[in-house]
Structure 1
Amino acid sequence: MSYNLLQGKRGIVFGALNPDSIAWKVAERAHEEGATLTLTNTAVAMRMGETQKLAEKLNTIAISADATNVEDLNNLFIQSMEALGGKIDFVLHSIGMSPNVRKERHYSDLDYNYLNKTLDVSAVSFHKVLQTARKLDAINEWGSVVALSYVAAQRTFYGYNDMADAKALLESIARSFGYIYGRERRVRINTISQSPTITTAGSGVAGFNRLLDFAERMSPLGNATAEECADYCITLFSDLTRKVTMQNLFNDGGFSNMGMSLRALQQYEKGLHEDCECGPAAEEHHFD
């Protein structure tokens, strides 16, 4: 159902790789709500994914850009403003990647070159997006920028690895840049801490299916879906949330405020007398 919340607004959506992507759902919902937008992803992701297919569906263009490359971002904003006919009203940063997670490096044995890549792609790119937009004066007054985060920025989750550090930095950038951009140009900057969601990136986290089940049992409202996250993003892009900025907002069915639920406790009790199948590294990392 459309409420025309974004009628006449222009946006840029980063990270719509395939229909499982939260960014894909956000782009579709923004279009339904009356916005015009451009899509962007890296050249490799554009070749491997289905971004161009979504662009055709939304009657728009997909612009290749590496979010860690300032020159690419500069071209992205200029091309987007030309294609859309004016300044941008909203931006979604839905980017995250960890070579340490992909290579199954334990957090106590990180490859620091990989860590630098994790931080650059998953967090510092957000700063680069904001800095580039500000220098170009590319975002309209009362515009809105949203980045996707996770509760692991505040709490420790087995297997989330250095992505937790990246999300903590991401949220800090939203606060620091949110103050500057808010005072100067009334641009809002927020992060959404989403439930674990089945996406290409999320599925790479160790024990992801178990995490998904645990969060579902813990959350009084259950896990938020990608579609529900998209709905939340739309409200933050709209004029209904003009005074919301510098916030990390939880869209997780209540998980972030829970200690223990009955459903999770019952499941835990069922397994009390069973040996934990923790994998071949169990002895080495028995404190995990």
Structure 2
Amino acid sequence: MGNNLLSGKRGIIFGALNDMSIAWKVAERAVEEGAIITLSNTALAVRMGTVAELGKNLNAEIIPADATKVEDLEMVFAQSQDILGGKIDFVLHSIGMSPNVRKKRAYDDLDYNLLQSTLDISAISFHKMMQVAKKMDAINEWGSIVALSYVAAQRTLFGYNDMADAKAMLESIARSFGYIYGREKNVRVNTISQSPTLTTAGSGIKGFDGLMDFADRMAPLGNATADECANYCIVMFSDLTRKVTMQNLYHDGGFASMGMSLKAMNQYNKSFENEFKDENGHIIYG
């Protein structure tokens, strides 16, 4: 049951692929809270995913577009304003992909052409999105733009690879563009650093199951789910957060502030229960 937090607002949700997507959950919650929206993803993602089902359920038109192409983004913002009947009030950037991760390239053996693709898709697209919107004057005053990030922008986490570089750039873009957009148009720009979440993209990261389990043991509140992230996004889109901008907001159950938790320490100690030493004092693991 919604609380009409987004009543009368218009939004664009980039990145919904299937019902595992955070963007999918955000789209559902936005409409539940009274917004009208359009959905956008690449033409390939629209064909391969189930976003058509989401569009039908939410009465939301789908605009296939490549977010790395300025002309495609211009088309999304122009069509969205026509479809929704006015300027946009909120935008979600939920776009991320690393060809190096998909090809299992180690961080010290990156393909640099693929690295450029990672940065363009996962971070530079965010800058392009806002630059297009600003030049078109497509966002209403006090509008809200949110991109999804991850703590690997600040911490080294095994297996996250060059996506960590992309998230660091994403957060920097939010600060730099957020200052300009806020100063000139009263539009706020933030990133949400979400817990590791089982999505189609996330499942491709090496050791992702272990990463999720570790984060859940470390975070005092446990991992934040996709549904909970959607709730947070709704608050950031709403008028309740009008003066919040240029922030990277951790939504991870407290993980980002932890060093060692009791659960993680217990698991660590348990790993030594079957430890034995040979006659020379060398550790033998059972």
Q: TM-score, length-normalised on structure 2? A: 0.95
Question: Which has more radius of gyration?
Answer: 2
Question: Using the alignment, how far apart are the partners of 1:268 and 1:274 within structure 2?
Answer: 12
Q: 1:184 corresponds to which residue?
A: 184
| 1:61-210 equivalences in 2 (<5 Å) | 61-210=61-210
Q: 2:220 corresponds to which residue?
A: 220
Question: Using the alignment, how far apart are the partners of 1:60 and 1:109 within structure 2?
Answer: 42
Question: Using the alignment, how far apart are the partners of 2:152 and 2:32 within structure 1?
Answer: 32
Q: Aligned letter for 2:103?
A: K
Gaps of 5+ in 2: 276-286
Aligned-pair CA distance for 1:85: 0.1
Aligned-pair CA distance for 1:274: 6.3
| 1:34-49 equivalences in 2 (<5 Å) | 34-49=34-49
Secondary structure of 1:64's aligned partner: coil
Secondary structure of 2:11's aligned partner: strand
Aligned-pair CA distance for 1:136: 0.3
Cα deviations by residue, 1:22-60 (Å, 9 ceiling, x for unpaired) = 000000000000000000000000000011110010012
Cα deviations by residue, 1:139-190 (Å, 9 ceiling, x for unpaired) = 0000000000000000000000000000000000000000000000000000
* Count of aligned pairs between the two proteins: 275
Asked if 1:56 corresponds to 2:66, the answer is no
Gaps of 5+ in 1: 276-288
Runs (4+) of structure 1 moved beyond 2 Å?
272-275
Secondary structure of 2:215's aligned partner: helix
Question: Using the alignment, how far apart are the partners of 1:274 and 1:61 within structure 2?
Answer: 58
Secondary structure of 2:63's aligned partner: strand
Q: Aligned letter for 2:195?
A: S
| 1:251-270 equivalences in 2 (<5 Å) | 251-270=251-270
Secondary structure of 2:131's aligned partner: helix
Q: TM-score, length-normalised on structure 1? A: 0.94
Q: Percent identity?
A: 72
Question: Using the alignment, how far apart are the partners of 2:230 and 2:138 within structure 1?
Answer: 23
Asked if 1:11 corresponds to 2:4, the answer is no
Secondary structure of 1:18's aligned partner: coil
